[in-house]
Amino acid sequence: MFVWHLSQIVFRMWLPYTMTAGERIVVLDKQWGSVPLAKWRIAPVIIIVFMLLLLLFFYSQGVTYPAMHSMLAHWTPKFERSTATALVHAGAHVGAMVALTCSGILSDSDFLEGWPSVFYVFGFIGCIWFVFWVFLVYDS
């Protein structure tokens, strides 16, 4: 399901016309993405709930990059923007590599019944990250 492209288009067109830098949008993205991920285990009981959570999770992922570029434009000095953008994108790839490695380890373990622990752990980490983001990140 590649619905995250749709949210990228919508938020990229909307973002330049707002007065916020993107901090609030990233907060909503993490809230929309982490809560359904943490509730993933109960969703397969009702297939409609599962599909709605999946759609909400994937749709929420598309707002991160447009909001992050807006935040980088507001936060970084003009001549350091390319370096900051490169670091942000490199961090995303390193994070994906670490997450995939941890997912395999969690799936093989007996922690929270094996494979469901991947959803619980990453949903919990996203919720904790959300709390820190709300208190530590500002629009400008």
Q: Quick: pLDDT tens for 108-131.
A: 988 878 888 888 888 888 888 888
- pLDDT confidence band for 87 (50 / 70 / 90): very high
0.85 cut: is pTM over it?
Answer: no
State pLDDT tens for residues 27-46.
Answer: 666 665 666 656 556 555 67
Domain residues for the domain of 21 are: 4-136
The better pLDDT of the pair 21, 6 is held by 6
Domain count, the chain: 1
DSSP of the chain, one letter per residue?
Answer: --THHHHHHHHHHHGGGSSS-SHHHHHHHHHHHHHHHHTTTTGGGSHHHHHHHHHHHHHHHTTHHHHHHHHHHHHS-GGGHHHHHHHHHHHHHHHHHHHHHHHHHHHHS-GGGSTHHHHHHHHHHHHHHHHHHHHH----
The better pLDDT of the pair 20, 8 is held by 8
Q: How far is CA 103 from the centre of its chain?
A: 16
- pLDDT confidence band for 101 (50 / 70 / 90): very high
